[in-house]
Structures are given as structure tokens and as C-alpha cells.
Amino acid sequence: MTAIGSDHGWTIDEWLVVALARTIRDREVVFHGFASPCAQVAMHVARRTHARDMLLLEGATYAVNPDPEFIPPTSNDLVLHRDAVYRMRFEEFFDAATRGDVDRMFLSGGQIDAYGNTNVTAIGPDPERPKIKLGGGGGGCNISATIGALTVWTTRHRSGRTLVRQLDFLTDIGHRTPDGDRRELGYTGGGPQWLITELGVFDFRPDGHARLRAMWPDVSVDDVAAATGFELDVALTAGMLHPPSGAELAAVRAVDPLGVRRSEFGPDELKRHFHHADRAASCAC
């Protein structure tokens, strides 16, 4: 079996982190929430590769541009303060987000709908007696309304329970809610720009609805359709999900030597391994 750290290929966790990192533009101010290892690693990868002048805000410590030796298993570890240029106060960050001074935030959820709304509060039809109580938004509802752009992700798409037609509880704001769209509700942020899953990459149409733009080489449209609860709009674009470069893979492995990113994936997903030779003519990557 090929070793994960070898030069002969890469795994789905590495490629998904690289795809997340590529959504970051240079000079953006970028933030991630609690318990978000894939997004956390992606932000540090972007800063070490194509976005060297981004401003990185750690999601639990509010450290600005730290240089940790490794990503720890918890997002509230003091290693994430290492060499930070500044440590924001909680209220400073929320003031900046409300003013529109934060360009991008990473969001995930136990449920995600076609408009990029997310549920991290409760699963089940009755929020007073939920089947599963989730961690809650931690202020995400407020700042998701005003931050410039959102990158939404999940590693549980294949379960069929994550990308759903209707949320059991709306925690964080996407493009359109049952009460209206962003313009109608007076929200100043741009909303979700990308939705990246272990099956594929989505962007959002002008009306705010997600559309599938690329898939990993071992995934078919039928796979995506079977796991997606809302209407699947397919607009595949060749070259959008190109393989990670040597520099990107080196950055992932240097930033996350403990493999914390892998904790977001199920065991079967972690068996997915790719090589350059896997790129068939029909691959939407």
C-alpha cells in the first residue's frame, strides 16, 4: 500500500484541504469557526502557497497570522498563538465582521441546503426535543450575514443526510431563507461562494441555488445525485478541480503532520487515494 506521505499520490483529505485553500484569494481576511480542522489546515496552506499576504484569523484564539509548528487536535491550543502578530479580543472580531472587514469565513454544518444555509444546532423535526443536539452557531448566524464571502464544506455528503432539501433548524445564513433573500432581509455580506464536499465542488447560481461544477475522479454524477436531497443542477467545468501541486501537498503535510484533518472523514473515505494517471478523459476535475 502506498504511504500517505509519499510522492506517489495523495489522499482525499489532502485534496479536499487543497481545494478549500484555493477558494482563498491573496490579501483576504479569512476566519474559521470552532472544531474545523480541514478549514484550519486549508487557511495555513493558502498562506504558505498562493495567498502569502492574506490575514489569517484563528477561530478560537483570534490570533492574527500565527505560525504554529503543527495544527493541534483542538482549535483552542496555545500553539495557535505562536508568533502571532496580534491577538484580537472577541468583541473586536465581531465588530470587524459586522463592519464588513472580514472577507471570507469557512462554514460547515450537520445539514446544508441548496442555498448554502447551514444547521449546526439540532437534528430532528422538533428543536425543543431534537434527535441530535449539535454544538450551536457560536455567533455564526450574525457574522454569516455580514462577512464578504463564505466557503461552505462538508465531508459527510455521501451519507445522504447532510445536503438536504429543508433544514431542521437554520443556524447560519446562506443566500435565501424562508423569510427572503439577503437583499430583502438587509444583509450586507455576499453569502456562500463555494460548497466543497468529498464528492464534488459546487458554486452558486445568480439566484443563490447550488450547482455542481466538478467532481473527484472516482465519483460520478449518479453518486452525487443519490446523496443530494435538493435538485441537482449540473454544470461541470473541466479543469476546475485540478490535482494538487507538489508545493500544495508539501504545505498540507508540513502544516498538519498529526493528520488532524483526517478526523473529519469516515474510514472508507480515507481509503481514497489518487495519482496523476487517474485523470481519465471523462474526469470532471
Contacts for 82 with CB less than 8 Å, ≥ 6 apart: 66, 67, 68, 69
> Which backbone phi and psi does 200 adopt, to 5 degrees?
-175, -175
Range with the poorest average pLDDT among 93-97, 124-128, 176-180, 220-224? 124-128
Q: Give the model confidence (pLDDT) of 212-268 as tens digits.
A: 999 999 999 999 999 999 999 999 999 999 999 999 999 999 999 999 999 999 999
Terminal-residue alpha carbon distance, the chain: 24
Three-state SS at 48: helix
Condensed to tens digits (0 to 9), the pLDDT of residues 115-130 reads 999 999 999 988 788 8
How many angstroms from the chain centroid is the CA of residue 180? 24
Taken in order of first residue, the domains within the chain and their CATH numbers are: 10-278 (3.40.1080.10)
Helix (H, G, I), strand (E, B) or coil at 255: helix
Residue 182: phi, psi to the nearest 5? -60, -45
Residue 107 near residue 118, CB atoms below 8 Å: yes
Identify the H or E element spanning 57.
Answer: strand 55-57
The average pLDDT across 6-25 equals 92
Residues in the chain: 285
Percent of the chain with pLDDT over 70: 95
In the DSSP assignment, the letter for residue 274 is E
* Residues 35-73 pLDDT 10s: 899 999 999 999 999 999 999 999 888 999 999 999 999
What is the rounded CA–CA span in Å between residue 258 and residue 3? 15
Beta strand 29-32 with 104-107 is parallel
Say whether 64 sits in a helix, a strand or coil.
strand
pLDDT for res 74: 86
Amino acid 7: pLDDT? 57
Q: Are strands 111-112 and 55-57 parallel, antiparallel or unpaired?
A: unpaired
Query: 180 in helix, strand or coil?
Result: strand
DSSP per-residue string spanning 104-158: EEEE--SEE-TTS-EE-SEESS-TTS-SEE----TTHHHHHTTSSEEEEEES-GG
d(CA 92, CA 96): 6
Position 110 scores a pLDDT of 95
